[in-house]
Chains A and B, each alone.
Chain A
């Protein structure tokens, strides 16, 4: 079905009782040209790009729970392309451009809202580093503005500008950054992919791979039976190591828990996204009025999808330090998701050493903004058996060759990225 102002008006006249399912809940067939493991944003986007850009429509997306039940439903919905290193800069801008046309592409309202992403700086050295990052972005055709304190006082007058340890001197602003509605992104890709014939199969957990005599992957074993596949792509975020292990692979990845928080709804306060990196705190405000915020990962390996109190305290202290008045706001919800933390903080989109198995992993805590870009470059890799030019550096062997992309400069210690 096609969504438009006319379909909305028609449905309104009939009391909204005529809406049909957004996408088709399929049962598995015996065989597909491509099977994607993981029905999150990345997996569904990959399926849609395979069908729409690369003409491969005999595709299944397998999801062990319900679509969007993993990190696609657990993130803080921020989109941006303010990266400084070659490899990241081009890729995230590709993704940003796809966000800007996503709703037209998918015929689905993903509530993409480009209301700006601002990173605060607190010292001359940090300002210089942000000026350099902003210049890198602008050289690459990405918007960036370095704001001084006077500009911030107009934009965010309630900040604790005279904080003793982290006085706010200014910030780096990307106006094209912002937020999108995470569930709508999942449903939008599911809707558009389903319309093109992609089978979206829920409650279908992959339990193993079937291989031929040469070791090539020929399909997957699942909780709903064996499914044959010409090629298999995995986009399973925090479960990457577990799924890869079924094919005998060890990855340069640790799974860590990241928590996020939502406050009770308040009147409009935060105009865009604001990050206080020095204090491990970032925040935006949802359309419903809740402050959506978070900070660092907990810092230990976890598959539990829940965190612990010290980080919750640390995040709230960060919020109080930079916006003292939010101490009056009550916390409404808190949750955790499992991040596939790679050893350099950068994703891996590459063929795996196992023939027929393709990797899309290592997104750390930055996977949401990458959703459309990840779908496009992963579909390109699977369809053409060659790397998309904007993902050329996201190679699995970069850890062996030394060509790591360490945006934070922390080394091979995932809990520090």
Chain B
């Protein structure tokens, strides 16, 4: 598996660390226990195409949103993640 970083180009996997599924969104402070439990612990654990957060610690140190197939490891898209990553490219 190699990841084509939008800032650094194609790099080997060892430069990146994995956070996980990009879908869970931190609930609002007053969202209640169920929403927090769901966010912290429950996962879709998709067998197929999944959107994920990766960190390019061995390169530009940007957070990336990677679209990857968990059955084949095929990567179909890499974008800067929302927030700091996106701010770098003015997205």
* A interface residue numbers (CB < 8 A to B): 241-242, 250-255, 299-304, 306, 308-310, 313, 343, 399-400, 412-415
A303 engages B41 (CB within 8 Å): no
| Shortest distance from the beta carbon of A301 to any chain B beta carbon, whole Å | 5
A301 engages B42 (CB within 8 Å): no
Chain A CB within 8 A of B31 CB: no
Given contacts A254-B20, A400-B37, contact A304 B70 (CB under 8 A): yes
Chain A CB within 8 A of B26 CB: no
Contacts of B14 in A (CB 8 A): 310, 313
Q: List 12 A-B contacts (CB under 8 A).
A: A242-B45, A250-B44, A252-B42, A299-B18, A301-B46, A301-B50, A303-B71, A308-B1, A309-B12, A310-B13, A343-B41, A399-B41
Chain B residue, CB-CB nearest to A241: B45
A302 engages B73 (CB within 8 Å): yes
B13 engages A303 (CB within 8 Å): no
B20 engages A301 (CB within 8 Å): yes
| Shortest distance from the beta carbon of A362 to any chain B beta carbon, whole Å | 11
| Shortest distance from the beta carbon of B33 to any chain A beta carbon, whole Å | 8
Chain A residue, CB-CB nearest to B69: A304
Residue with the greatest number of chain A CB neighbours at <10 A, chosen from B47, B50, B52, B68:
B47
Contacts of A306 in B (CB 8 A): 73
> How many Å lie between the Cα of A70 and that of B69 in the bound state?
20
Not counting A400-B37, A413-B20, A414-B20, a sample of 9 additional A-B residue pairs whose C-beta atoms are within 8 angstroms of each other reads A241-B43, A252-B43, A254-B20, A254-B43, A255-B45, A301-B70, A309-B12, A343-B41, A399-B41
* Secondary structure class of chain A's binding surface, majority of residues: mixed
Contacts of A242 in B (CB 8 A): 45, 47
| B17-48 interface code vs A (CB 8 A; 1 in, 0 out) | 11011000000000001000100111111110
B52 engages A301 (CB within 8 Å): yes
B18 engages A415 (CB within 8 Å): yes
Chain B residue, CB-CB nearest to A305: B71
Contacts of A304 in B (CB 8 A): 70-73
| Shortest distance from the beta carbon of B17 to any chain A beta carbon, whole Å | 7
Given contacts A308-B13, A308-B73, contact A303 B47 (CB under 8 A): yes
> How many Å lie between the Cα of A412 and that of B33 in the bound state?
16
Chain A residue, CB-CB nearest to B2: A308
Contacts of B1 in A (CB 8 A): 308
> How many B residues face the partner with a CB closer than 8 A?
25
| Shortest distance from the beta carbon of A3 to any chain B beta carbon, whole Å | 40
Given contacts A251-B42, A253-B45, contact A300 B72 (CB under 8 A): no
Contacts of A303 in B (CB 8 A): 47, 70-71
Chain B residue, CB-CB nearest to A342: B41
| B49-66 interface code vs A (CB 8 A; 1 in, 0 out) | 010100000000000000
| Shortest distance from the beta carbon of B24 to any chain A beta carbon, whole Å | 11
> How many Å lie between the Cα of A57 and that of B42 in the bound state?
35
A255 engages B70 (CB within 8 Å): yes
Given contacts A301-B70, A304-B72, A308-B73, contact A412 B41 (CB under 8 A): yes
| Shortest distance from the beta carbon of A364 to any chain B beta carbon, whole Å | 14
Contacts of A415 in B (CB 8 A): 18, 20
> How many Å lie between the Cα of A306 and that of B50 in the bound state?
18
B18 engages A251 (CB within 8 Å): no
**Which of B17, B33, B37, B50 contacts A299 (CB under 8 A)?**
B17
> How many Å lie between the Cα of A309 and that of B73 in the bound state?
13
> How many Å lie between the Cα of A302 and that of B50 in the bound state?
10
> How many Å lie between the Cα of A237 and that of B28 in the bound state?
34
Contacts of A252 in B (CB 8 A): 41-43
> How many Å lie between the Cα of A195 and that of B37 in the bound state?
45
> How many Å lie between the Cα of A400 and that of B13 in the bound state?
34
| Shortest distance from the beta carbon of A344 to any chain B beta carbon, whole Å | 9
Contacts of A400 in B (CB 8 A): 33, 37, 41
> How many Å lie between the Cα of A104 and that of B90 in the bound state?
69
A412 engages B40 (CB within 8 Å): yes
> How many Å lie between the Cα of A301 and that of B42 in the bound state?
14
**Which of A254, A399, A412 contacts B45 (CB under 8 A)?**
A254
> How many Å lie between the Cα of A302 and that of B41 in the bound state?
18
Contacts of A254 in B (CB 8 A): 20-21, 43, 45
